[in-house]
Amino acid sequence: MTLNALAALAWWRDLVALPGHDGGGDRAAAARLRRASTIAEAMMEPAALALFRRVGATRAEDLPRVALTAAILAHVRIDAPGQTVARIVGPEDPDRPETAILKPLRFKRLLEAEGEDEQLVVFRRLLRQCGGTLPVVDIAQSLLDWNDVRRRRWVFDYWRAEPLAPIASSSSPALPQEAPTP
């Protein structure tokens, strides 16, 4: 699913009351999304349906994923662009995992969470541990397109590692040939 995370940022700005902005946001909708205990509840919120339209979703199967995104974005208080969520919550140094905001075991649980209702719980916990400050575009894109590739990217970012270069060829290298004897 390729949905527009920048549109999610605009939706979030309209939802929350940002300090220094004239618009007061939609506090009631944000509160209902924050209180939603299941994805079914979040899907019933008109603000989640507004996000569905804004990000360009067209299939009914996308609604639970978009509702999860809406419920989680409602918990973001301050946008922190410039880094990825996984890099922010990961350890300062891979050799010092105790420095992580989200400890390795909780990070593992987040990656292993199955289904939107379970993900709602672990991502809310993540937001609490970050004090409600995360990069909105990155969390939105991650939630809208949560898959194995995204999970692997989060692992590399969390541990401040870079993916290995792809193997050039699957065949074994050619052995040097002996020169023919005249």
Per-residue pLDDT tens for 112-130? Answer: 999 999 999 999 999 999 9
Query: What DSSP line would sit under 68-95, residue for residue?
Result: HHHHHHTT--EE-TTS-HHHHHS-SSTT
Of 17-26, 29-38, 48-57, the least confident? 17-26
> Which tokens go with 52?
């569905």
Give residue 176's pLDDT: 46
Nearest to 67 by CA among 161, 140, 126: 140
139-150 pLDDT, tens digit each:
999 999 999 999
Give residue 3's pLDDT: 79
pTM: 0.85
Give 162's pLDDT tier (boundaries 50, 70, 90).
Answer: confident
Domain spans of the chain, in order of start: 5-158
Task: Residues 5-158: name the CATH superfamily.
Answer: CRISPR-associated protein Cse2 (1.10.520.40)
